[in-house]
Chain A
Amino acid sequence: DMQMTQSPSSLSASVGDRVTITCRASQVIGNSLAWYQQKPGEVPNLLIYAASTLQSGVPSRFSGSGSGTDFTLTISSLQPEDVATYYCQKYNSSPWTFGQGTKVEV
Chain B
Amino acid sequence: QVHLVESGGGVVQPGRSLRLSCAASGFTLSRHGMHWVRQAPGKGLEWVAVTWYDGSNKYYADSVKGRFTVSRDNSKNTLYLQMDSLRVEDTAVYYCVREVKYPGYFDLWGRGTLVTVSS
Contact = CB atoms under 8 A, between A and B. Distances in A.
Contacts of B100: 49
Contacts, number: 56
Interface string A80-96: 00000101010111111
B106 A98 contact: no
B105 A89 contact: yes
A98 B39 CA distance: 11
B103 A49 contact: no
Given A46-B105, A93-B103, A98 B45 contact: yes
Contacts of B59: 94-95
Given A1-B62, A43-B95, A94-B59, A32 B47 contact: no
Interface residues of B, number: 22
Contacts of A98: 37, 44-47
Majority-rule SS of B interface residues = strand
Nearest to B93: A43
Contact of B106 (A46, A93, A94): A46
A27 to B, nearest CB: 14
A101 B44 contact: yes
A34 B105 contact: yes
A35 B109 CA distance: 14
Interface of B: 35, 37, 44-47, 50, 59, 61-62, 95, 99-100, 103-107, 109-112
Top 10 closest pairs, chain A to chain B, by CB: A34-B105, A94-B59, A96-B47, A101-B44, A49-B105, A98-B45, A43-B109, A91-B105, A100-B44, A91-B103
